[in-house]
Structure 1
Amino acid sequence: MDKKLFEILVCPLCKGDLKVDQDKRELICRPCGLAYPVRDEIPVMLESEARTLTTEERL
């Protein structure tokens, strides 16, 4: 994944910072409780495609 791209991306809902989870290939927004998938090196920044984080993942 291109690190420069991920440095400028923000959550489309709250405009907050995203954390990269390399293992799950996701971008995590803890304040919103969502994980946006990265497919074929392309972040899918749609709320409808995001999964909800578990309580443990939000910590």
Structure 2
Amino acid sequence: MTPPIDPWLLERLVCPATRTPLRQEGDRLVSDEGGLAYPIRGGVPVLLVEEAVEVTK
């Protein structure tokens, strides 16, 4: 299980595709606006559009 991202940092991170806020969901950061989830590997968010997976609603 991935530990929570520091709230201060999470407030500043945005989706690289949509420039909208992200929220942490387990071991990924989710962009509700973009419908994308970005992995967190070794405690480091990987905010590359190529690494994102689509989130189904």
Q: TM-score range by the shorter chain?
A: 0.7 to 0.9
Unpaired runs of at least 5, structure 1: none
Shift of 1:43: 0.4
Structure 2 residue 6 is the aligned partner of structure 1 residue 2: yes
Cα distance in structure 2, aligned partners of 1:40 and 1:2: 14
Aligned to 1:37: 39
Alpha carbon RMSD of aligned pairs, Å?
1.1
Unpaired runs of at least 5, structure 2: none
Match for 1:4: what amino acid?
A: W
Sequence identity of aligned pairs in percent?
Answer: 40
Aligned to 1:15: 19
Aligned to 2:53: 51
Cα distance in structure 2, aligned partners of 1:42 and 1:3: 14
- How many residues matched? 53
Q: Where is the helix percentage greater, Structure 1 or Structure 2?
A: 1
Cα distance in structure 2, aligned partners of 1:38 and 1:3: 15
